[in-house]
Amino acid sequence: MSVRVALFGTKFMGKAHSQAYRNVNMYFSDAPEVEMAVLVGRDPRETEEARKTFGWQEASTDWKAVMQRDDVDVVDISTPGHMHAEMAVEAARNGKHIICEKPLANTLPEAERMLIAAENAGVKHFLMHNYRRCPAVAMAKRMIDDGRLGRVFHFRARYLQDWAMSPELPRLWRFDKEASGSGALGDLGAHIIDLGRYLCGEISEVCAATETFITERPALDGEGKKPVTVDDAVVMCVRFAEGAIGTLEATRFAAGRKNHNTFEINGSKGSVVFDLENLNNLQYYSTDDDIDAQGFRTIICCASTHPYGGHWWPDGHIIGYEHTFTHSVYDFLKGMESGHRVRPDFEDGVLNQKVLDATEKAAETRAWVKTD
Amino acid sequence: MSVRVALFGTKFMGKAHSQAYRNVNMYFSDAPEVEMAVLVGRDPRETEEARKTFGWQEASTDWKAVMQRDDVDVVDISTPGHMHAEMAVEAARNGKHIICEKPLANTLPEAERMLIAAENAGVKHFLMHNYRRCPAVAMAKRMIDDGRLGRVFHFRARYLQDWAMSPELPRLWRFDKEASGSGALGDLGAHIIDLGRYLCGEISEVCAATETFITERPALDGEGKKPVTVDDAVVMCVRFAEGAIGTLEATRFAAGRKNHNTFEINGSKGSVVFDLENLNNLQYYSTDDDIDAQGFRTIICCASTHPYGGHWWPDGHIIGYEHTFTHSVYDFLKGMESGHRVRPDFEDGVLNQKVLDATEKAAETRAWVKTD
Amino acid sequence: MSVRVALFGTKFMGKAHSQAYRNVNMYFSDAPEVEMAVLVGRDPRETEEARKTFGWQEASTDWKAVMQRDDVDVVDISTPGHMHAEMAVEAARNGKHIICEKPLANTLPEAERMLIAAENAGVKHFLMHNYRRCPAVAMAKRMIDDGRLGRVFHFRARYLQDWAMSPELPRLWRFDKEASGSGALGDLGAHIIDLGRYLCGEISEVCAATETFITERPALDGEGKKPVTVDDAVVMCVRFAEGAIGTLEATRFAAGRKNHNTFEINGSKGSVVFDLENLNNLQYYSTDDDIDAQGFRTIICCASTHPYGGHWWPDGHIIGYEHTFTHSVYDFLKGMESGHRVRPDFEDGVLNQKVLDATEKAAETRAWVKTD
Amino acid sequence: MSVRVALFGTKFMGKAHSQAYRNVNMYFSDAPEVEMAVLVGRDPRETEEARKTFGWQEASTDWKAVMQRDDVDVVDISTPGHMHAEMAVEAARNGKHIICEKPLANTLPEAERMLIAAENAGVKHFLMHNYRRCPAVAMAKRMIDDGRLGRVFHFRARYLQDWAMSPELPRLWRFDKEASGSGALGDLGAHIIDLGRYLCGEISEVCAATETFITERPALDGEGKKPVTVDDAVVMCVRFAEGAIGTLEATRFAAGRKNHNTFEINGSKGSVVFDLENLNNLQYYSTDDDIDAQGFRTIICCASTHPYGGHWWPDGHIIGYEHTFTHSVYDFLKGMESGHRVRPDFEDGVLNQKVLDATEKAAETRAWVKTD
């Protein structure tokens, strides 16, 4: 089986997804063969350059035309969030399987439209929450599914970065609600909401506060200042449908935290802790250990016994950030082959968006809000 | 100057306070001399035994009589919370200076009554939130006061323990609202609220959820089960008066967390992280470091340059949990000598209680609640 | 400029080097363009399969013929150590630039022959000690070169693994002195000797002990047991020419240590610590920090300010083991372009081999041995 | 049973031992009762001040007279090393039980003389290598004795400090071989040799190098410079009688290492790691753990299930440096009561001294030296 892919987007995510297509067959011998057919961008020169650098066969700036090509099996949407809906609907209409970068969309109605379009078209749809496929995160999931953590009491997660702390930083599109939907909430919070749902089940209700620490920034065109219309940070309390409670936090104002996407789960039989800055490691505590020898242990999840293990390098030879995309593409390809559902998909995207919406509403109304 | 102390309470806190009185003059040569005059308990035999073990001159079971003794300068109340108010008011009436174990009281009215009594009597009053006086915590405070962290954006704290996870654990007084006021909230949450107030200023509003994971437990008398009437865990979002936002969390259901009282503060110029399980260490990140050499550093706060440093042992020779009580007693004694206010005092206790009250109300009303 | 490469070797190192050639142009836009011309192996079917998996244009089993091809610019020798000398000499004879996997050779005379051949032919020669090009290691080097560590007093390194602990493990070629030269010493020790030389200058003398904990193992053919003729572990004390002293240790018998290649350097102005199991991080201590705020800090060496930074992903998005090969190939290609020497080269390999030889001699003679 | 103690020495170790006598009965209810009878020093005023501060009944400057007092049961020698032999022999002659601060003596003949004197007199003798009684170290010992680590392959230890790095630091007695015997070797190395012997059995042979980085220092009287006649640092390779090999290292020139007494032991069934700067923690790796969940775990050795646990504070409430002295005194007192041997004793001191001697000889002769 060979799969021809068209990728829409040439920037950070375009690069990250490209390397996944480029390398998946080298490391995962049982995956269907990928052909990197077309790279689609806006600017002809930039797109051609990216095509060459990333290794695509063709470049194009006509996204609708590419959607209609018969020789494309999978469409990968790695454009900014406000373009996702239109593109995904078009892809579905043309019967293409879809991989979509997170967030699924900037609004809930858009997300729901995408889900319906994909379902109606009977195409495979997949949402790129790549962090589910850090081996250590997948290992945490295995432990929970095995019952090794028992009944889950607590989920606490935070995604902390610090790149927005300087008041001199201009008002990029990320500070503009029109373009980005929200700030730290949608950008970072969406990731930890996804991890929470993946590991602990649905979030049923939320209370929250959002804050914008720097309320105006130098305009990109150098002409004075413009208001920041998104949140710089968000704090949340949540309840899960299955009984756990949690705290979530996302910010761009945590000095020293570069990519600190971390969670801790406490269950009746043990706990796990993850931190994306050391993404190969999972900390694990088991109440089954000898009574005088209990403690949090650091599992380097790089052995053949671990999820996605044995495909890369020997034990203890760590992998990096981009490998999580390779794992995601691998699982998607296997799902295409088998016909099985591969998650997270657009339904997960819709459910994630409901939590984001509830969070914004909770912050506005200063009260707990249910997610459905 | 010599100070004669009467201590009320012979259990865990009685032991912890006793060792402070016992040792403060050995390590802090400039402190007024302490005389361990009277230990007061309920049971004559137990009290006499504790007197001998801890090193007090006399034992007594008549607490009111001891309050009236002329040869007692300081009264230390280390009894359960519901007895604090009556004892403190009596102590103040007799002109005794007062050290009170946290929580100041089980209810806000009690706490306010204690503050008024002490203020009216013109006695010194002090609340034993000993964790302020971990050298690493005091070091964090120094950094904030020096401006080394800049403007504070975030405070996130959690106090996690796991001793209550077994359903076989009987219904101790700590699971009974009548006796204990609340569960994890008042027991553990009060500590991190105090640290938040100490380091980041007043908490102005709160939203929260509380949860009781095990709703009934074996009765202490072995006769069936009795309901648990306090929270096992609490999660909170907070806003500080000075603009920071935060998350707080306290639980007795975090497998593997024995005494994990930890906080992180992010400011415009740096961050700090503390964990009571390694209480000598403070992690610190500074944006002033060389651009290619920035990172969280672990300061072992045991040198003569650190708060309370130079009194114990050479650099890198760590101290333990109980030393924080010795520091507290030392500062209290110095305050007696100088007449300066020593914090936290009963006013801090009242403000802390207001946050606890707001938290309970927020959990009940499912909405943000202001603390005043 | 375009560079056509022939790679000899299809196993672990063949895979690792292949991915470097495959990806270097994607991430390092200023590198000469690589063409993956020929992959050379022993078994035709395996080689063809590897060719396809790794992405080479042609496969061959005739290594001598490939050496003579005019359309090959660079020869990469990733075969077992005992074949390096013959291949490298042949490559040099044909005017090919050479990348050679470590160890340069199994014996000092072989290594010297390779160096002479390459020098006489005027070709570029490079030894793949890839760990020099972990960003954190390169960062340590920068700090030393900048004088940020001052005068170096101590180097302590260890490379610990645990894969050989089971007595059931059969007698692989790695346990056979004929095939492998030595055991942990040449396999792991060579790496930390290279790092020591890279960071602290030449090692002038050595004392050591080697040990074989399991002296015979099941024969590969299933017929009884065969003796292990290499060391399982080695411990060393060393003196550096510039005055520092050190300890080095390599073993395959350290339970729980998977790929624990770690070093610490102490200088008059600071210290650094590295661990390959967290290869993105460098710990750093500076005596220039505020007197009350000194501590080891963890630098995540993934920012644009760090060596090889800015080519991969944003700050805090970590890279993995194989990226160090990509960095090595990148630097080699840049060296081809500029004509500058790129190290480590065969001369480094010879010097490394001299330390290995001295170590074996020191262990045998039970005395300190000079390296020259 | 009540035990009257006379302590000789009023400085750092006098203080550390005093607190042990002062507190042992408070925490260990089953220990014989200690009476702090006499403190002996050189300077009358200083000694009287120390007496008062530390809580001794009497002060004296006549050490021989105190040795002969009938009302003294135990003599504690906490004076500098060159005085140990004379004092211990005198104590033995008077039938006193003896606690002696490490090192037992500055030379092997002295140490042997002490052992013979104590044995001939039939008195109890104990050597204060207090680090054996960190709960985490005692826990490591338990694990080894239980067979939880299996056959031991490796011991690697280092004791790193940094207080001597400044060339401005004057030539204290610690830099004078006459007064101190040796430098880092005897001061710090002796500790890790003791831990090695305690945990892995006798050290049978040694090779080593010593180094003096700063060869002269300002004279204490301010008149010019005087030579440093001891080592600043030592590196060692060792073999244990039972088959393990090891590296040991002690230095006063490791920037940032304040009290970094650390060891790692690798056995066929697991490994342990200890660091005095976090002395409550033991890292432990077990090959018995689930195959996908193996990793080094951090045991906080403060629970009632741990050595010396249950005597201090609840789980996770850590203890400090000086508590190791209290544990030592406790065990000594229990040994007095039971008549059982308590180790380390003077025989251990002699064996330790033999390793120190062999190390010095190995460094001089540049060859491996047997310890007996």
Q: What is the mean pLDDT of residues C233-238?
A: 98
What are the C-alpha distances in Å from C37 to residues A189, C6, C56, D80?
A: 46, 6, 6, 73
CA distance B23 to B122: 28
Residues 6+ apart with CB under 8 A from B102: B127, B128, B129, B190, B191, B194, B349, B352
Residue A94 predicted with pLDDT over 80: yes
> Which of C209, C235, C294 lies nearest to residue D256, judging by beta carbons?
C294
pLDDT tens sequence across D277-304: 999 999 999 999 999 999 999 999 999 9
Chain D: residues touching B (Cβ < 8 Å): 12, 16, 18-19, 22-23, 25-26, 29, 53-55, 161, 163, 257-260, 276-279, 281, 300, 302-303, 312-323
CA distance C1 to C330: 13
Chain C: residues touching D (Cβ < 8 Å): 153-154, 156, 158, 160, 162, 165, 207-209, 211, 213, 233, 235-237, 239, 243, 245-247, 249, 251, 253-257, 264, 266-271, 285, 287, 294-296, 366-368
pLDDT band at residue B354 under the 50/70/90 scheme:
very high
Coil, strand or helix: which one is B357?
helix
Q: Give me the pLDDT at residue D178, please.
A: 87
Which chains lie within 8 Å of chain B at 3 or more CB pairs, if any?
A, C, D
Q: What is the mean pLDDT of residues B62-69?
A: 97
pLDDT tens sequence across C160-208: 999 999 999 999 989 999 888 899 999 999 999 999 999 999 999 999 9
Cβ distance C296 to B298 less than 8 Å, yes or no, reads yes
No. of helices (H) and no. of strands (E), chain D: 11, 17
> Which of D245, D268, D296 lies nearest to residue C233, judging by beta carbons?
D245
Q: What is the mean pLDDT of residues A73-93?
A: 96
Structure tokens at C1: 């400029």
> Which of C154, C257, C366 lies nearest to residue D254, judging by beta carbons?
C154
Give the CATH fold of the B135-278+280-319+342-365 domain: Dihydrodipicolinate Reductase; domain 2 (3.30.360)
In terms of CATH architecture, what is A2-131?
3-Layer(aba) Sandwich (3.40)
Cβ distance D270 to C247 less than 8 Å, yes or no, reads no
Q: What is the mean pLDDT of residues C35-60?
A: 98
Residue C259 predicted with pLDDT over 80: yes
Q: Give me the pLDDT at residue D318, please.
A: 97
The domains of chain A are located at 2-131, 135-278+280-319+342-370
Cβ distance A299 to D295 less than 8 Å, yes or no, reads yes
Chain B: residues touching C (Cβ < 8 Å): 139, 142-143, 148, 282-286, 289, 291-300, 303, 305-306
Distance from CA of B263 to the nearest CA of C (A): 18
Q: What is the mean pLDDT of residues D202-223?
A: 96
> Which of A235, A237, A254 lies nearest to residue B271, judging by beta carbons?
A254
CA distance D111 to D134: 25
Coil, strand or helix: which one is C172?
coil
Closest-CA residue to D130 (of D39, D13, D35): D13
Average pLDDT of chain C to the nearest whole number: 97
pLDDT tens sequence across B161-174: 999 999 999 999 89
Chain D: residues touching A (Cβ < 8 Å): 139, 142-143, 148, 282-286, 289, 291-300, 303, 305-306
How many B/C residue pairs have CB atoms within 8 Å?
56
Residue B262 predicted with pLDDT over 90: yes
pLDDT tens sequence across A185-239: 999 999 999 999 999 999 999 999 999 999 999 999 989 999 999 999 999 999 9
Residue C108 predicted with pLDDT over 90: yes
Greatest extent of chain B over all pairs of C-alpha atoms, in Å: 66
Q: Give me the pLDDT at residue C222, please.
A: 87
pLDDT tens sequence across B118-162: 999 999 999 999 999 999 999 999 999 999 999 999 999 999 999
CATH of A135-278+280-319+342-370, one of 3.40.190.10, 3.40.640.10, 3.30.70.20, 3.30.360.10: 3.30.360.10
Distance of CA D186 to the CA centre of its chain: 11
Residue of A nearest to C30 (CA): A53
Q: Give me the pLDDT at residue A179, please.
A: 84
Residue C315 predicted with pLDDT over 80: yes
Could you write out the three-class secondary structure of chain A? CEEEEEEECCCHHHHHHHHHHHHHHHHCCCCCEEEEEEEECCCHHHHHHHHHHHCCCEEECCHHHHHCCCCCCEEEECCCHHHHHHHHHHHHHCCCEEEEECCCCCCHHHHHHHHHHHHHHCCCEEEECHHHHCHHHHHHHHHHHHCCCCCEEEEEEEEECCCCCCCCCCCCHHHCHHHHCCCHHHHHHHHHHHHHHHHHCCEEEEEEEEECCCCEEECCCCCCEEECCCCCEEEEEEEECCCCEEEEEEECCCCCCCCEEEEEEEECCEEEEEEHHHCCEEEEEECCCCCCCCCEEEEECCCCCCCCCCCCCCCCCCCCCCHHHHHHHHHHHHHHHHCCCCCCCHHHHHHHHHHHHHHHHHHHHCECEECC
Distance from CA of A90 to the nearest CA of D (A): 43
Percent of chain B with pLDDT over 70: 100
Cβ distance D25 to B302 less than 8 Å, yes or no, reads no
Q: Give me the pLDDT at residue B24, please.
A: 98
Residue A178 predicted with pLDDT over 90: no
> With contact defined as beta carbons under 8 Å apart, do D251 and D234 qualify?
yes
Residue of D nearest to A138 (CA): D292
Q: Which of A33, A277, A281 has the most C C-beta neighbours within 10 Å, making it the best mutation to test the interface with C? A: A277
CA distance C186 to C233: 10
Contacts of A256 in chain B (CB under 8 A): 266, 270-271, 285, 287, 294-296
Cβ distance C54 to A323 less than 8 Å, yes or no, reads no
Distance of CA C185 to the CA centre of its chain: 13
Residue of D nearest to C165 (CA): D268
Closest-CA residue to A209 (of B246, C189, B325): B246
Distance from CA of D279 to the nearest CA of B (A): 8
Residue A338 predicted with pLDDT over 90: yes
CA distance A102 to A89: 16
Q: Give me the pLDDT at residue C372, please.
A: 85
Average pLDDT of chain B to the nearest whole number: 97
In one-letter notation, the amino acid at residue A284 is Y
Q: Which of D144, D292, D294, D296 has the most A C-beta neighbours within 10 Å, making it the best mutation to test the interface with A? A: D292
Q: Give me the pLDDT at residue B372, please.
A: 85
pLDDT tens sequence across A55-66: 999 999 999 999
Q: Give me the pLDDT at residue A1, please.
A: 75
Report the b/e string of C111-126 with b at 16+ CB within 10 A.
bbbbbebbeebebbbb
Cβ distance A317 to C313 less than 8 Å, yes or no, reads no
Q: Give me the pLDDT at residue A191, please.
A: 98
Q: What is the mean pLDDT of residues B197-218?
A: 98
Sheet holding C125-128, edge to edge: C58-60, C33-40, C2-8, C74-77, C97-101, C125-128
Q: Is the dihedral of CA A143, A148, A152, A157 positive or negative?
A: negative
Q: What is the mean pLDDT of residues C145-150?
A: 98
Q: Which of D259, D298, D305 has the most B C-beta neighbours within 10 Å, making it the best mutation to test the interface with B? A: D259
What are the C-alpha distances in Å from A127 to residues A180, A333, B340, C104, D356?
A: 18, 13, 61, 47, 65
Q: What is the mean pLDDT of residues D126-151?
A: 98
Cβ distance C26 to A26 less than 8 Å, yes or no, reads no
In one-letter notation, the amino acid at residue C334 is K
